[in-house]
Amino acid sequence: MHNNKGLKPDVGFEGVGSDMELQWSRVLERLKTECEEGVFNSWFKPLALVNVDEGCAVMAAPTRFMRNWLQSNYAERIRQAWSKENPDVTDISIIVLSGFKSAEPQGTLLDNDEQDEARPSASERKQTAAGRKPKASGETRVVQNNSGTEFGAPLDPRFTFDSFVVGKSNELAYAAARRVAENTAVHFNPLFLHGGVGLGKTHLMHAIAWANKQMFPERRVLYLSAEQFMYQFISSIRFKDTMSFKQKFRSVDLLMIDDLQFIANKESTQEEFFHTFNALIDHHHQVVISADRSPTDLEGIEERIRSRLGWGLVADIHPTDYELRLGILQQKANSVPEVEIQTEVLEFLAKRITSNVRELEGALNRMVAHATLIGRPITMEMTQEVLQDLLRANDRRVTIDEIQRRVADYFNIRLSDLLSSRRARQVARPRQIAMYLAKEMTSKSLPEIGRKFGGRDHTTVMHAVKRIDELRQTDSVLEEDILHLERIFST
Ligand SMILES: Nc1ncnc2c1ncn2[C@@H]1O[C@H](COP(=O)(O)OP(=O)(O)OP(=O)(O)O)[C@@H](O)[C@H]1O
């Protein structure tokens, strides 16, 4: 492992050698002669070279505003200036590294991985050049406190506690998040939120920041992804500004780092994270961390960090169940009152799109966009047509074989009996339920389902589906059984 103390100031990022620096100073000279002095001083002088890689020159601007302005007004001019100095450069990218002062860049001995990560990927560069926000850049989401001190960038205004739908799978995480947001006294430190992709970790963290900002405007809250943490750490070393970095991170009242798994195997970043984390906890400043798995399962993260992550409260966000998915869809549907969506459609989506909330929302958004375009209410027929691809992708997760196996297990009967022609009630009813679920949860046709059930006719399947549909309305035990089974398949 590399220790910060052992960092060598003379080791640069791969690709930013003195040649590149020389070219960069020529590019600046060229821009200086082409522009008015005021323009040059305001916009180009504060830029710093990050690297040149695969024909793309990456430069850093100290603020998002400056980056956006340069991107919209001067990108082509900068690109041309580069091409004239170095014909291999065909593309440019400007990233934001907040807090750096344009200085002679110096590098450090970082893990190879960390050096690689510090360079935007080719696709990120393309996105940046096209003015779209890369998934993770060197930007920090920071809350602007009331004293006007800039301490970050905007949080997603949609991610509040009000818009978070609570169910069994996320109630602990939600309650803990509220506790952190609404109290200045530290009850558990850190709060560690973990769960699979798209289940609301980021949403909850932003909600904490919003609520905290509203209730305690003077508090300094900092939210960023682990990737951004690493990026800022690397640039602080590179621009010899580690003191400001440490000061910035250690002076906050509430630090939230999202997607910690990202710094797995990034040893220097972990070292710095460890010290930041300890300093904040020692001073009773709240820390909230999220990751896609529990502290003990965070492979590639040092043991001493993993054990400390478990010191406070570890709250798991489980996969959603049907009721929660329906609740989320209803809430989203209410937010677009201008579009009429049949309840049947919401129930269908909640049943069929089980992967994660992001996909569920995406499906509804697609439907809303489609319905708005053609000016018609959202019907089942339209849904099945518009979402064909998504439904198929979700289908792959539940197969008829799996349904048959699970139903047989649940009712404690043999699979061979379920598929047989036996008509005894204790076998016939589970068989009907399995057929019903196969129709509900897969996109297989009635004849296909019939074939899977020992070569039965499609009318038998149709009858089973109808019968169970009716019984669900009147037989509460059967309704419970089906809800339970649906839950099994959606997790
Ligand atoms: N319980 C919920 N209520 C309302 N919206 C939710 C809920 N859970 C998730 N969402 C929505 O689902 C989307 C994905 O959530 P989010 O980005 O917070 O997931 P995540 O767990 O951070 O995922 P990742 O691991 O990919 O970072 C967001 O638009 C969020 O608002």
DSSP 230-277: HHHHHHHHHTT-HHHHHHHHHT-SEEEEE-GGGGTT-HHHHHHHHHHH
> How many Å apart are CA 155 and CA 225, to the nearest integer?
12
Q: What was the pLDDT predicted at 18?
A: 67
Atom of ligand 1 nearest to the CA of 170: 1
- Asked if residue 415 has its Cβ within 6 Å of ligand 1, the reply is no
Q: What was the pLDDT predicted at 135?
A: 33
What is the spatial order of strands in the sheet that 313-317 belongs to? 141-142, 221-225, 254-258, 286-291, 191-195, 313-317
Domains present along the chain, CATH in parentheses: 4-129 (3.30.300.180), 141-317 (3.40.50.300), 322-395 (1.10.8.60), 400-490 (1.10.1750.10)
Q: What was the pLDDT predicted at 48?
A: 84
**What percentage of the chain reaches a pLDDT higher than 70?**
84
What's the farthest any 2 CA atoms get from each other in the chain?
Answer: 92
Q: What was the pLDDT predicted at 98?
A: 56
Mean pLDDT of 110-139: 40
- Name, of 96-105, 126-135, 227-236, 459-468, the range with top average pLDDT: 459-468
Ligand 1 center–CA 289 separation, angstroms: 15
Judged by average pLDDT, the poorest of 22-36, 114-128, 280-294 is 114-128
What residues contact residue 230 under an 8 Å CB cut-off, 6+ apart?
Answer: 114, 117, 118, 262, 263, 266, 269
The amino acid occupying position 50 is V
Ligand 1 center–CA 119 separation, angstroms: 28
Q: What was the pLDDT predicted at 101?
A: 39
- Name, of 148-157, 310-319, 384-393, the range with top average pLDDT: 310-319
Q: In testing the pocket of ligand 1, which one of 135, 158, 199, 322 has its CB within 8 Å of the most ligand atoms?
A: 199
- Asked if residue 199 has its Cβ within 6 Å of ligand 1, the reply is yes
| Separation in Å, CA 15 to CA 103, 220, 347, 396 | 18, 37, 54, 45
Q: What was the pLDDT predicted at 138?
A: 34
Atom of ligand 1 nearest to the CA of 204: 18
- Asked if residue 325 has its Cβ within 6 Å of ligand 1, the reply is no
Judged by average pLDDT, the poorest of 238-247, 298-307, 424-433 is 238-247
Q: Do the Cβ atoms of 407 and 429 come closer than 8 Å?
A: no
The pairing of strands 286-291 and 91-96 is unpaired
pLDDT band of 15, cuts 50, 70, 90: very low
Nearest in space to 472 (alpha carbons), one of 444, 443, 432? 432
Ligand 1 center–CA 334 separation, angstroms: 18
> How many Å apart are CA 455 and CA 353, to the nearest integer?
29
pLDDT band of 114, cuts 50, 70, 90: low
Over the stretch 37-84, which tens digit does the pLDDT of each residue have? Answer: 777 877 888 888 878 888 888 888 877 767 877 888 889 999 999 999
Helix (H) or strand (E) holding 289: strand 286-291
**What percentage of the chain reaches a pLDDT higher than 90?**
48
Q: What was the pLDDT predicted at 127?
A: 37
Q: What was the pLDDT predicted at 175?
A: 96
- Asked if residue 329 has its Cβ within 6 Å of ligand 1, the reply is no
Residue ID of nearest Cα to ligand 1 atom 10: 200
> How many Å apart are CA 319 and CA 298, to the nearest integer?
19
Atom of ligand 1 nearest to the CA of 327: 3
Q: Which residue has the higher pLDDT, 117 or 453?
A: 453
pLDDT band of 17, cuts 50, 70, 90: low
Mean pLDDT of 455-464: 94
Q: What was the pLDDT predicted at 14?
A: 32
Ligand 1 center–CA 165 separation, angstroms: 10
pLDDT band of 137, cuts 50, 70, 90: very low
Measured on CA atoms in the order 236, 239, 241, 244, is the torsion positive or negative? negative
Nearest in space to 81 (alpha carbons), one of 97, 59, 62? 59
Q: In testing the pocket of ligand 1, which one of 202, 288, 293, 332 has its CB within 8 Å of the most ligand atoms?
A: 202
200 appears as a binding residue in the annotation: yes
Report the half-sphere exposure of 463 (CA within 13 A, side-chain side): 9
Over the stretch 402-424, which tens digit does the pLDDT of each residue have? Answer: 999 999 999 999 999 999 988 89
> How many Å apart are CA 455 and CA 447, to the nearest integer?
9
Query: What are the φ/ψ torsions at residue 223 (nearest 5 degrees)?
Result: -120, 130
Residue ID of nearest Cα to ligand 1 atom 5: 164
- Name, of 87-91, 160-164, 185-189, the range with top average pLDDT: 160-164
Mean pLDDT of all residues belonging to the chain = 82
Residue ID of nearest Cα to ligand 1 atom 23: 198
> How many Å apart are CA 164 and CA 208, to the nearest integer?
11
- Asked if residue 417 has its Cβ within 6 Å of ligand 1, the reply is no
Tell me whether 0.85 is exceeded by the ipTM.
yes
pLDDT of residue 302 exceeding 50, the answer is yes
15 appears as a binding residue in the annotation: no
Ligand 1 center–CA 200 separation, angstroms: 3
Mean pLDDT of 147-157: 55
pLDDT band of 467, cuts 50, 70, 90: very high
> How many Å apart are CA 152 and CA 464, to the nearest integer?
58
Q: What was the pLDDT predicted at 72?
A: 80
> How many Å apart are CA 299 and CA 313, to the nearest integer?
20
Q: What was the pLDDT predicted at 174?
A: 97
- Asked if residue 198 has its Cβ within 6 Å of ligand 1, the reply is yes
- Name, of 69-83, 87-101, 285-299, the range with top average pLDDT: 285-299
For 204, the token pair is 């909850």
